[in-house]
Amino acid sequence: MTKDAGKVLVVGMDGLRYDRLTRSPSMAPVLHRLMATGAHGTSLLPYGEADGQAENGPSTSMAYTDSGPGWSSVLTGVWPDRHGVTGNDFIGADYTRHPDFLSRAISARPGLRAAAAVSWPELVRRGVLGASIGRRVHYDGESDGYETADRLVAHTAEHWLTEEDPDVVFVYFGATDEAGHATGPLSPAYDQALLAQDSHLGRLLEALEARRADPARADERWTVLVTTDHGHLDSGGHGGDTRAEQEVFVILAEPGRPDGTRLDSPRLVDIAPTVLDRLGIPVDPAWDLQGRTLPQPTTPTSEWS
């Protein structure tokens, strides 16, 4: 039986350390509220660990804890041994066999409305986000600064959620990673970047709440996922195999989910199959996804407000 189709918003916050996020509600009130009314959990990125079996023996997911491999894993639902990206040079990328979840959704359901807005232009220029995505906007945080580019991303996504009718939206913010590189994740600048991204997320959630209050859209069922691609050393920077660099998180909020529940070691590759599931698109075994679908809620309760 075909499942009812929902809608999904995925928000990526680059280089956001979980322990810095959770240490004080005042630094990220929207994210804390989302965790309190939804579900969340953490896991460690694989770094040189066997992951499944290839034709000629065990495959490996080893890659630098960098944004290229991280966001490729989030968007494709497979680890670097399959999507091919092991660094920010994107050498070896195979997005033809392993496309992003928005492109898969469009292919599976022609007419589906997908949109992506990012402040790291490489996600578009390198093909991580495929050309079939109807709305695919990138701003240049590298040249214009991520504070500015993230603000433009938030404005664009808010417009889509307010004025248009997307089915799935991917949003990327990069200021936390920029601040982590510049002054480290223990710095006031990192806190300020986190607070700004939290505010951007708040605007997007407010747009979803406004949709729910609209009688013409009141029956929409939105799932919200928030994640990161890697962490940072205390001194700033990443790419290695320390826990501070490897720990990632997933926050999941949707109607019917009990408040403050824990997800069991959610991984970056779990995002793609979960998005497809909430869109009502069955995962084809031929896609060879390595992630698992995060469980749907069973207990009626409020949304993320």
pLDDT tens, the chain, 305 aa long: 234 579 999 999 999 999 999 998 888 999 999 999 999 999 999 876 544 444 433 345 578 999 999 999 999 999 999 999 999 999 999 999 999 999 999 999 999 999 999 999 999 999 999 999 999 999 999 999 999 999 999 999 999 999 999 999 999 999 999 999 999 999 999 999 999 999 999 999 999 999 999 999 989 999 999 999 999 999 999 999 999 999 999 999 998 888 889 999 999 999 999 999 999 999 999 999 999 999 987 654 445 44
Q: If phi over 0 gives left and psi between -120 and 50 gives alpha, with beta otherwise, what is residue 218? A: alpha
Whole-number pLDDT of residue 51: 47
The predicted structure's pLDDT at residue 296: 85
Q: Which two tokens stand for residue 248?
A: 């990632």
7-287 maps to which CATH number? Answer: 3.40.720.10
Domain boundaries, given as residue ranges, for the chain: 7-287
Integer angstrom CA distances of residue 168 from 88, 116, 237, 272? 26, 9, 31, 12
Cβ(261)–Cβ(214) below 8 Å: no
| Cβ neighbour number for residue 38 with a 10 Å cutoff | 25
pLDDT value of position 32: 96
pTM score of the predicted model: 0.93
Contact assessment for residue 150 and residue 196, using Cβ atoms and an 8 Å cutoff: yes
Instruction: Check residue 261 and give its pLDDT.
Output: 92
Q: Which has the closest alpha carbon to 10: 151, 168, 167, 122?
A: 168
